[in-house]
Structure 1
Amino acid sequence: MFRMLRRAVVVLLLALPVPALAQTPLERGRTLVEGIAACGNCHTPKGPQGDLPGMAFAGGLVIDEPNAFRAVTSNITPDPETGIGRWTDAQIIRAIREGVRPDGRVLGPPMPFALYRDISDRDATAIVAYLRSLRPVRNVVEASRYPMPLPPAYGPPLGTVAGPADTPIARGAYLGGPLGHCIECHSPMGTGGQRDFTRAGTGGPPLNGPMGAIVPPAINGPALRGWTDAQIERAIRQGVSSDGRRLAPPMAFPHYARIGGTEMRDLIAYLRSLP
């Protein structure tokens, strides 16, 4: 009788859903950097065939906005001479979220510091853990040039930054804002050269890329009204529009293909909620 009861309990436990094991900081960092955050989309130099072999996250990609700036992405591998190998964790996090280097110099666009300021402590720590695990690559990159003056700071020094509320739209806003910075490109410019996030997702100004000027379209609720969730997901993951057209870089489709199923549903819920 006891053996039968014990066997029944075991069968019942096996039938229950098993919660996903909590990710370590390194695992969480890999999920973010190689997925929704798509850091390599800018920080890995490109050639005609895509990413240059052996140069992952080594910097050197030129982002040229005529009459605005000529940004050259930084080497964010742990190389001690040309990368961030000698930076402390706190210094790396400050550079990501506040745009300030260890020597006090202010970093410039197109890093979306207004959004990155809201990356949670947990995720900022995880991103650093993954960056430290990368293969160091020695790669000296030229300095960026900013004809316009950079701000003295992008906001007051940060304290503790919590994660999003545990609702689909709040989680999606965190994915589409601080982590994936979707609304950085897909929102119009306001006064003073800053993005107008009161009109988030209503479409952005042209971006200069290898295929010419790309105009980020509206991705808010009204613009997506004729799209199914599956079509939105296909556009994000595969770069195929609802009518079958191929979408263009700089959308980081190979990275977005790695976004988890729950996260994708949250992101779509957030985009549909944008007015």
Structure 2
Amino acid sequence: MLKKILKWTARTLLLIVLLALGYYTKAYISVQGRLKKTYAIKPLNLNITSDSATIALGKRLITTKGCTDCHGKDLGGQTFFEQKGMGRLVARNLTRGKGGIREGFTTEDWVKAIRNGVQHDGTPLIFMPSGDYNQLSDTDLRAIIAYCQQAPPVNRVHEPCDLGPGAIVLTDLGQLDLFQAEKIDHNLTPPLAVKEGVTVDFGKYVAQVCSHCHQPNMKGTTGDHATPDISSTGISSKWTDEQFFRTLRTGKRPDGTALKAPMPWQMTAAFSDTEMRALRTYLKSI
């Protein structure tokens, strides 16, 4: 009797292992296919100027749009996640130093990466939040590219991104959002410029950088890595304007507790008063 139980147990375990291997093979093939998919992007001819005003705007924007949160203040890149079994996520070196952008990287390549989340060959970038920048105005995009093109070279070589078994499974299950290029409407025409002011429209434009974590409707998410509802029905309704501004500038809530990562309060701290008040106006309108 014991031999029979052991026999059936071994068969059951073998079946489970075979099913797991079968699923992982399917997930691996699927994710690799998504990695190799190419996106046809309509060329955009941006005339990049390097005048002092444009460079100054670009320098501010790489902070307020969150570029430095991943790529570092010197734009030299960094490994911001690495875990055995899950893999490695790397923000690239965006300078012209050793380990930086390749020779011949064009303005069109910059546009594809920032707005569309794809590489020069049309395949998707990994974990590049281009959904936040797809509707970046031509004026702001031009300034960001101009600043990056003249940024001091940083000699910093990184290992490439590497998707481990855990990341592949979570990506296949839809629990890990690695390919923003899949979600972007690449045919949308971004605005040429956006009029600044304490208005709902400008606040919505500022809030694009919030949508990746808090969702486009600003209602937040649930689950293990939940983000709060920051619309008029969420925490914003419980804070005064000044409490809201102070929280985004200091990283501390009105009760004195610190905002937890990955809330990029260093980014929001760099918002101008107009951007901050416009954002508040927009969130109240939702």
The question of a shared fold, defined as TM-score above 0.5 by the shorter chain, is answered with: yes
Query: Structure 1 length as normaliser, TM-score?
Result: 0.70
Contact preservation (8 Å) 2:137, 2:191: yes
Do residues 162 (structure 1) and 192 (structure 2) align? yes
Counterpart of 1:155 in structure 2: which amino acid? D
Q: Using the alignment, how far apart are the partners of 2:221 and 2:52 within structure 1?
A: 35
Do residues 185 (structure 1) and 197 (structure 2) align? no
TM alignment of 1:56-205, pairs within 5 A = 56-63=74-81, 70-79=88-97, 81-83=99-101, 86-109=104-127, 111-146=128-163, 147=168, 148=171, 150=179, 154-156=184-186, 161-164=191-194, 168-177=199-208, 181-187=209-215, 197=216, 200-205=217-222
Do residues 222 (structure 1) and 224 (structure 2) align? no
Contact preservation (8 Å) 2:135, 2:190: no
Shift of 1:261: 0.9
Do residues 251 (structure 1) and 257 (structure 2) align? no
Q: Using the alignment, how far apart are the partners of 1:31 and 1:164 within structure 2?
A: 16
Write out per-residue CA displacement over residues 21-56 of structure 1, whole angstroms, 9 at most, x where no aligned residue: x9822111112112x212111112xxxxxxxxxx72
- Unaligned residue ranges in structure 1 (runs of 5+): 1-21, 45-54, 188-196, 207-212
Shift of 1:120: 1.1
Contact preservation (8 Å) 1:29, 1:126: yes
Identity %: 29
Shift of 1:77: 1.7
Contact preservation (8 Å) 2:78, 2:91: yes
- Unaligned residue ranges in structure 2 (runs of 5+): 1-50, 173-178
Query: Number of residues paired by the alignment?
Result: 221
CA gap 1:236/1:182 in 2 versus in 1, 3 angstroms: same
Q: Using the alignment, how far apart are the partners of 1:122 and 1:233 within structure 2?
A: 26
CA gap 1:134/1:152 in 2 versus in 1, 3 angstroms: closer
1:263 aligned residue: 275
The structure with more helix, counted as a fraction of residues: 2
Q: Using the alignment, how far apart are the partners of 2:102 and 2:279 within structure 1?
A: 31
Q: RMSD of aligned C-alpha atoms?
A: 2.9
SS of the residue corresponding to residue 29 of structure 1 reads helix
SS of the residue corresponding to residue 24 of structure 1 reads helix
Do residues 25 (structure 1) and 43 (structure 2) align? no
Contact preservation (8 Å) 1:99, 1:113: yes
CA gap 1:39/1:220 in 2 versus in 1, 3 angstroms: same
2:67 aligned residue: 39
User: Of 242, 249, 271, which residue of structure 2 is paired with 1:237?
Assistant: 249
Contact preservation (8 Å) 1:89, 1:125: no
SS of the residue corresponding to residue 225 of structure 1 reads helix
Q: Using the alignment, how far apart are the partners of 2:284 and 2:181 within structure 1?
A: 36
Q: Using the alignment, how far apart are the partners of 2:252 and 2:119 within structure 1?
A: 38
Q: Using the alignment, how far apart are the partners of 1:143 and 1:87 within structure 2?
A: 18
CA gap 1:23/1:252 in 2 versus in 1, 3 angstroms: farther
Contact preservation (8 Å) 2:221, 2:228: yes
Contact preservation (8 Å) 1:77, 1:132: yes
Shift of 1:119: 0.7
Shift of 1:219: 0.7
SS of the residue corresponding to residue 176 of structure 1 reads helix
Shift of 1:257: 1.9
SS of the residue corresponding to residue 203 of structure 1 reads coil
Write out per-residue CA displacement over residues 125-148 of structure 1, whole angstroms, 9 at most, x where no aligned residue: 100111123211122222223424
